[in-house]
């Protein structure tokens, strides 16, 4: 069986046949814009609202399935993904332009997630808790929240949705999944495999809708009480709107937002390692991970050598068609290319532009040496290394989501930490140092949810808590056992077997 062969070119809302006046969207291959990967019918607001109603009905039965059996179902999804690993990775590469080696890694992440939650199906523990009274026992239970609306970005169209969907299903919830339209085919492939693994159709609902229809549909569902948890991965601006909407309905969403992730290169850093780490974190995936490196903060004594080595590494890196062995391929889609162009527009006179011969789109008149393939067919951009960044520069303060990184310098570790925290995000941060004291002090001072020592800011593993603070999220965490608190609520039980009414706080002997 091949995932690709199951995908027809015309795909639309599958479980929710609502004709509510949506539009058609073409998901295109960003390395060859003439290649239409999927034609998608985007639903209007009713699509999401009705999907949530369906999900609510289906959830009751799903919650009755024993957790270890639900664990086997999600493990089955993992096995099906594994059997289709190459074709799913090829689809990711074709639809969003992610280099094939990275796409394979991304597919591995959903497999790892399914493997992890197979075990959690047998460990969905509650507690026994002592009572303050005799002949009385207290317990806690994890209870599914109900229906989770999962709204995901397309830069990780397989792995990141699975961080919500797999634990949500394992915990006994139903899911309404609204993926990014520019990754519609990859989403459909994952949903197909989940349905084939035994997830009932009503328990996992896939809907396509644009941003405004999603907001309206979500608002209606929250109002009707058919959505009980929202998981959102995307920009800080949209996440703020999701947070406001959920807050009005007394809900606390799981928000995984942008980053302006710093990498501090200390005076005692291994320079080769730091250059390699900066190259991969900053320009790998064309800088389009929420965990991509944003600000390089380099000790003044190393600055010149570090920047010249990084400039050289960037100039000799291979960029091009993502089916090949490249550092990065095209940007995700036209919307992201437009966003990146506006970031390039903020480059100022006080910046030194390095990393490439030109700035902007790679074209015949602005070529890139050693480019792999034909640049004219896709959304390819020159890498930018901006030296001389100032703390009030746009590029220093805002997530750029493209192949651009700025450099600033520091003298003391406190100064480096302050610069790292200044933009107000708090997702991922890295320090390159050979001194454990520097590493631990950095971890203590930096406001990021995830810290790396001598490693990339990106590349989170599937069983460590993932998430950020400040503008990067609301402190919620995905992955591992920590995400269980997103998709279950604690219920307590107090059981009195004394045969009489014992009153808490009143019938207790205090010493």
Residue count, binding to ligand UN1 (CB under 6 A): 10
Residue 433 · residue 454 · CB < 8 Å: yes
Tell me which of 15, 155, 236, 476 binds ligand UN1, using CB under 6 A. 155
Active site residue 109: no
- Distance from C-alpha of 187 to C-alpha of 204, rounded to nearest angstrom: 12
Centroid of chain to Cα 432: 24
Tokens of 168: 């949500």
Indicate the residue among 12 and 259 with the shorter CB distance to ligand UN1.
259
Minimum Å gap between C-beta 427 and ligand UN1 is 9
**Residue 156 engages ligand UN1 in binding (rule: CB under 6 A):** yes
Tell me which of 193, 278, 290, 314 binds ligand UN1, using CB under 6 A. 290
Tokens of 69: 């059996």
Minimum Å gap between C-beta 157 and ligand UN1 is 10
**Contact region with ligand UN1 (CB under 6 A), list: 47-55, 76-84, 287-295, 497-505:** 287-295
- Distance from C-alpha of 144 to C-alpha of 172, rounded to nearest angstrom: 5
Minimum Å gap between C-beta 235 and ligand UN1 is 11
DSSP symbols for 31-98: TEEEEEEEEEEPB-HHHHHHHHHHHHHHHHHHHHS-HHHHHHHHHHHHHHHHHTHHHHHHHHHHHH--
Q: Which residue in the block uniquely carries the two structure tokens 């929240």?
A: 145
Indicate the residue among 16 and 295 with the shorter CB distance to ligand UN1.
295
**Contact region with ligand UN1 (CB under 6 A), list: 70-78, 152-160, 435-443, 499-507:** 152-160
Give the footprint of ligand UN1 on residues 445-474 (CB under 6 A): 458-460
- Distance from C-alpha of 115 to C-alpha of 71, rounded to nearest angstrom: 9
Q: Which residue in the block uniquely carries the two structure tokens 């971890």?
A: 443
- Distance from C-alpha of 322 to C-alpha of 331, rounded to nearest angstrom: 11
**Contact region with ligand UN1 (CB under 6 A), list: 66-74, 86-94, 288-296, 362-370:** 288-296
Tokens of 113: 């997630």
Residue 252 · residue 228 · CB < 8 Å: no
**Contact region with ligand UN1 (CB under 6 A), list: 25-33, 80-88, 284-292, 389-397:** 284-292
Cβ neighbors of 485 (< 8 A, separation 6 or more) are: 477
Tell me which of 28, 142, 260, 289 binds ligand UN1, using CB under 6 A. 289
Please pick, among 256, 305, 341, 418, the residue that the annotation labels catalytic.
256
Indicate the residue among 136 and 463 with the shorter CB distance to ligand UN1.
463
- Distance from C-alpha of 110 to C-alpha of 187, rounded to nearest angstrom: 12
**Residue 478 engages ligand UN1 in binding (rule: CB under 6 A):** no
**Residue 52 engages ligand UN1 in binding (rule: CB under 6 A):** no
Tokens of 212: 């405004």
Tokens of 278: 């900066």
Indicate the residue among 458 and 488 with the shorter CB distance to ligand UN1.
458
Minimum Å gap between C-beta 154 and ligand UN1 is 10
Q: What are phi and psi of 88, to 5 degrees?
A: -70, -40
Minimum Å gap between C-beta 216 and ligand UN1 is 25
DSSP symbols for 393-437: SHHHHS---SSEEEEEEESSHHHHHHHHHTTS--SEEEEE-S-HH
Give the footprint of ligand UN1 on residues 222-241 (CB under 6 A): 233
R_g of the chain, CA atoms, integer Å: 24
**Residue 261 engages ligand UN1 in binding (rule: CB under 6 A):** no
Tell me which of 160, 238, 255, 331 binds ligand UN1, using CB under 6 A. 160
Indicate the residue among 29 and 285 with the shorter CB distance to ligand UN1.
285
**Residue 291 engages ligand UN1 in binding (rule: CB under 6 A):** yes
Minimum Å gap between C-beta 138 and ligand UN1 is 39
| Interface ranges with ligand UN1 (CB under 6 A) | 155-156, 160, 233, 289-291, 458-460
**Residues involved in catalysis:** 256
């Amino acid at each position: 069986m091949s995932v690709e062969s199951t995908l027809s070119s015309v795909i639309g809302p599958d479980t929710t046949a609502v004709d509510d006046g949506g539009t058609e969207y073409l998901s295109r291959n960003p390395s060859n814009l003439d290649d239409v990967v999927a034609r998608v019918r985007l639903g209007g607001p009713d699509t999401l609202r009705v999907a949530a109603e369906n999900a609510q009905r289906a959830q009751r039965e799903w919650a009755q399935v024993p957790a270890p059996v639900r664990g086997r179902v999600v493990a089955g999804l993992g096995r099906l993904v594994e059997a289709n690993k190459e074709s799913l990775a090829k689809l990711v590469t074709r639809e969003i332009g992610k280099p094939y080696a990275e796409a394979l890694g991304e597919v591995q992440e959903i497999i790892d997630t399914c493997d992890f939650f197979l075990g959690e199906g047998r460990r969905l523990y509650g507690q026994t808790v002592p009572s303050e009274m005799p002949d009385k026992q207290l317990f806690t239970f994890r209870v599914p929240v109900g229906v989770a609306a999962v709204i995901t970005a397309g830069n990780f169209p397989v792995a990141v949705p699975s961080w919500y969907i797999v634990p949500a299903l394992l915990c006994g919830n139903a899911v309404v999944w609204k993926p990014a339209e520019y990754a519609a085919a990859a989403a459909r492939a994952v949903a197909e495999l989940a349905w084939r693994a035994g997830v009932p159709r009503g328990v996992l609902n896939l809907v396509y809708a644009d941003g405004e229809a999603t907001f309206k549909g979500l608002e209606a569902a929250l109002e009707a009480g058919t959505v009980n948890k929202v998981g959102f991965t995307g920009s800080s601006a949209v996440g703020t709107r999701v947070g406001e909407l959920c807050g009005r309905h007394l809900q606390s969403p799981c928000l995984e937002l942008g980053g302006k992730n710093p990498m501090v290169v200390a005076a005692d850093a291994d320079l080769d390692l730091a250059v390699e780490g900066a190259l991969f974190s900053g320009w790998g995936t064309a800088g389009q991970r929420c965990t991509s490196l944003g600000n390089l903060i380099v000790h003044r004594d190393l600055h010149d050598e570090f920047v010249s080595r990084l400039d050289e590494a960037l100039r000799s890196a291979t960029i091009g068609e993502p089916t090949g062995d490249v550092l990065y391929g095209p940007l995700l889609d036209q919307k992201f290319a437009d966003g990146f162009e506006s970031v390039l527009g903020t480059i100022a006179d006080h910046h030194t532009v390095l990393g490439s011969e030109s700035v902007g789109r790679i074209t015949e008149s602005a070529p890139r040496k050693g480019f792999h393939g034909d640049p004219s067919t896709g959304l390819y951009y020159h890498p930018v290394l901006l030296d001389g960044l100032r703390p009030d520069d746009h590029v220093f303060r805002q997530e750029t989501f493209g192949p651009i990184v700025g450099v600033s310098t520091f003298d003391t570790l406190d100064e480096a930490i302050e610069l790292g925290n200044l933009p107000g995000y708090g997702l991922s941060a890295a320090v390159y140092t050979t001194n454990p004291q520097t590493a631990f002090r950095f971890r203590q001072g930096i406001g990021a949810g995830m810290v790396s020592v001598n490693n990339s800011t990106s590349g989170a593993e599937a069983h460590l808590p993932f998430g950020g603070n400040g503008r990067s999220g609301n402190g919620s965490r995905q992955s591992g056992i920590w995400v269980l608190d997103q998709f279950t609520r604690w219920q307590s039980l107090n059981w009195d077997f004394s045969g009489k009414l014992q009153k808490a706080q009143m019938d207790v002997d205090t010493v």
